[in-house]
A and B are shown apart, each in its own frame.
Chain A
Amino acid sequence: MSETLLKIENLYAGVGNKEILKGLNLTINKGEVHALMGLNGAGKSSLSFVLSGKQGYEVTSGSITFKGKDLLSLSTEERAQAGLFLSMQTPTEIPGVVFSNFLKQSLNSIRKAKGENELDTINFIKALRLEANKLGISTDMLKRFVNVGFSGGEKKRFETLQIALLKPDFCILDEIDSGLDIDALKTVAESINTLKNPNNAFLIITHYQRLLSYIIPDVVHIFADGRIIKTGDKSLALELEKKGYTEFLNHKEP
């Protein structure tokens, strides 16, 4: 059996007074791709914020272990430095911060934390151009402010570019397919497929089967009522697309 990368046990968490995760269990091993599907407002994005330690998302009980360490004791930046990456459903716009400068600082912060040497500007730009090219991102776009004025699809390409450059061990892709045109969806999926290796893992949050036909999941989960109510293989996503959620919600597993 392969090694466990992430283990969530009996997790209860909420935001404000609202309880969103209610006894969630999820184990992801190295080398695996998991898909997480569920109704709007079910709490999928909230789970991703709990995992990345966003302020305001309070864990009331349960545990999260990442690479054998207690993830909940780490700050947001320490989690990122430990190899966790969240591609956000709505990436934040940051006027005044040039994308390539931001990415250089991000990459070097992570390299530094890992004890690797920081890249100088020339080597960084080389690496950046190479990956940007593959994703069809022009050099001019790299000079723009982070996500400002980017189209929905462009934002997602930039999130993918960050993954390609930072090479995290665990990636949460929160609706990376939303806003992408069919060609871009393919490019992004290809990029992720090439990044897949026996040491990393992906949690793909999506509403659509289409993405999963490009990035084939090993495991598919249905998320409802604050926890995972059904787990299966890739055929579960197909079944869900055919039948809709009602069927599954009515036949909850104990």
Chain B
Amino acid sequence: MAELYSVKDLETQFHTREGTVHAVNGVSFSLQEGETLGIVGESGCGKSVSMLSTLRLIPQPPGEIVSGEAIFQGRDLLKLSAEELRHVRGGQIGFVFQDPMTSFNPVQTIGKQLMEPLEIHLGMNKKQAWDRAIEMLRMVRIPNPEDRLKDYPHQFSGGMRQRAMIAMALACSPQVLIADEPTTSLDVTIQAQIMDLVTSLRKELGMAIIWITHDLGVVAGLAERVIVMYAGYIVEEARVKDLYAKPEHPYTLGLLRSLPRLDMDEKKRLASIEGVPPVLFKKPKFCPFASRCPYRIEKCLEENPSLMLVGENHKAACWVDTYTGKER
């Protein structure tokens, strides 16, 4: 498999009234052709900001991409001209957002919004774009696509809207689909349907997927590789089966423990990690997870661990081997 997309040392900050928020602190990862990569972490860990940053979609100001590169097909997206970048957005990299309710323009028909990227990137005329939009809706299994294209977003149910959003992101057959918590706002059955849809579309179209979620359970069935983020850092990176078989970072352990499992009762599974991820106003000189970590040792408060190799294709950023409880 060839490398399709590679992000190096990405750092993004927000200059707010309260101070500078360090939202993404040196994130690096790569994506192979046709691969599905999961990005996991609680809300506020910098998942969205890091992905939006690679396409320069964060609001600037207050946001600032301080450093890093995002190499896609040999070009650094962070250095492209606005015009060049525009053709990557929606043309080669499709984006699906969390809230299908607010992510569509309420005063335009679904059809008009679906046709837009086709006209922009593929130079289609109205008729061609319309026909292709019908095809796309059919592909995401929306019945009566000819009629539904004339509808406005509010006439679609939440699940349908997200299907339409996926159709819109895939309209120009991008090589990468970035899905930012696309099922979080949907109820469980719809969530499962969307996951099924994406799995089969991936088989059909062969695009690579970056799937952002706060739910490790979702990632299990979908991704080949997972990145766990905390406080703007990658704290663990592994193949899915390795992450489940042998999670290394205390944060990952915490996330796994809070997953619902059939053999546990409701009370036990709510034994999630106490506290919330911090908002960093300075680069910490200690492990950012320290305040919530049961494995903490002296060293954790003295130095922030960087990502280190802990197994084959398995990296974690922690001073402690959680299986022995000893320093690495």
* A and B associate: no
